[in-house]
Amino acid sequence: IPLSFFGGIGGASSKGVLVKGSNYLEALSQTKYVVCDKTGTLTKGVFEVTHVQAETWLSNEELLETAAYAESYSNHPISRSLKEAYGKPIDTSRVSEVEERSGHGVSAVIGGKKVSAGNTKLMKMLGISYAAPQKIGTEVHVAINGNYAGYILISDIVKPNAKSAIAGLKAAGVKQVVMLTGDTKPVAEAVASELGVDVVKSELLPADKVTEVEYLLTAKGTKEKLAFVGDGINDAPVLSRADLGIAMGALGSDAAIEAADIVLMDDDPAKIATAINISRKTLRIVHQNIVFALVIKFACLGLGAIGFVNMWWAIFADVGVMIIAVLNATRA
């Protein structure tokens, strides 16, 4: 039995899926709910600025420069895309009093001006009225000295195999695929519709993701398992809380990889369905070995008790059965 699981773990690793223990491989076969983070999991996490709309008292170039300076100390994919779109060296000596608000945005003093850049939640928190973009994209709203300065739209690229990955999960017997994201509702629903996700929850803070997973854990059946798939440092608490935590290994944060039970080494979400199928094949082999060994051993015990089998049959029932079981285990 252990050899069958070792074979399954080895088979999964040859496909680029690192399973950290046989108990996780067994749990995979019972997975009926898969919850995915959007950015970096179903999408590439490669953002690009698609639209800049400044207020009349500011130029688009100045708005982009202000946002890039405000985000200069952040390594978030959205921050990197703003700095790349600005495309000029950033003099960080002009930036001070940086305050990053998780799930909201960032505030900083730039050249003596108080700048806030983030999503609509940040604007609401600061009591600043903002414009509603007509196009779909991740919104970065900017305020300077408490006055609304405009917005920047950023788009993420869906992974080319994400749609087939969702279809593969459903074919593997997963009841429900849920997508959680901090993005706005229109962006989240557009991605969910494109990929065929069953349920989408948008505009979530990192703590809200834990709450959503907690709710799903209480709603599912006792023998059903829930897997969460994520890649960011904010996903680490959710990865730990789910029955199975699956992390993206290539671009995922160290915290996510450490907290996860399973790591996808090439960030391909289609490998989740592959891992589930490997898990189920491994469990079939385990059950075959158990049944085969017990049937032969009990048959030889019974027949031996009434004198129908000799020592050679006893040797076969012990060593022979073991060799056959080992050979069967290598199929995993």
> For 55-75, how does the pLDDT look when each residue is reduced to its tens digit (9 = 90+)?
988 899 999 999 999 988 887
- What pLDDT is stored for residue 235 in this prediction? 81
Residue 267 appears among annotated catalytic residues:
no
pLDDT at 39 over 70: yes
pLDDT at 9 over 90: yes
Instruction: Look at residues 122, 126, 184 and name the one whose alpha carbon lies nearest to residue 153.
Output: 184
Sheet with 244-248, strands from edge to edge, namely: 17-19, 262-264, 244-248, 225-230, 31-37, 176-180, 199-201
Is the pTM higher than 0.85? The answer reads no
pLDDT at 171 over 90: yes
- What pLDDT is stored for residue 50 in this prediction? 86
pLDDT at 30 over 70: yes
- What pLDDT is stored for residue 187 in this prediction? 84
Give percent of the chain with pLDDT exceeding 90.
Answer: 51
- Given 37, 235, 261, 268, which residue is catalytic? 37
CA atoms of 116 and 135, how far apart (whole Å): 22
Q: 158-163, long-range: CB within 8 Å, 24+ apart, which pairs?
A: 158/42, 158/43, 158/44, 158/191, 158/194, 158/195, 159/42, 159/43, 159/44, 159/268, 159/269, 161/268, 161/269, 161/270, 162/42, 162/43, 162/195, 162/269, 163/194, 163/195, 163/196
CA atoms of 83 and 75, how far apart (whole Å): 10
- What pLDDT is stored for residue 182 in this prediction? 83
pLDDT band at 46 (very low <50, low <70, confident <90, very high): confident
Instruction: Look at residues 291, 269, 308, 305 and name the one whose alpha carbon lies nearest to residue 37.
Output: 269
pLDDT at 259 over 80: yes
pLDDT band at 139 (very low <50, low <70, confident <90, very high): confident
pLDDT band at 92 (very low <50, low <70, confident <90, very high): confident
- What pLDDT is stored for residue 236 in this prediction? 84
Instruction: Look at residues 180, 256, 176, 172 and name the one whose alpha carbon lies nearest to residue 213.
Output: 180
- What pLDDT is stored for residue 252 in this prediction? 65
Summarize the confidence of residues 28-39 as an average pLDDT.
91
The residue whose two tokens read 């060994």 is 293
pLDDT at 250 over 80: no
> For 186-240, how does the pLDDT look when each residue is reduced to its tens digit (9 = 90+)?
888 888 888 999 999 988 888 888 899 999 999 888 889 999 998 877 788 888 8
* Mean predicted lDDT score pLDDT of the chain: 89
Summarize the confidence of residues 243-272 as an average pLDDT.
86
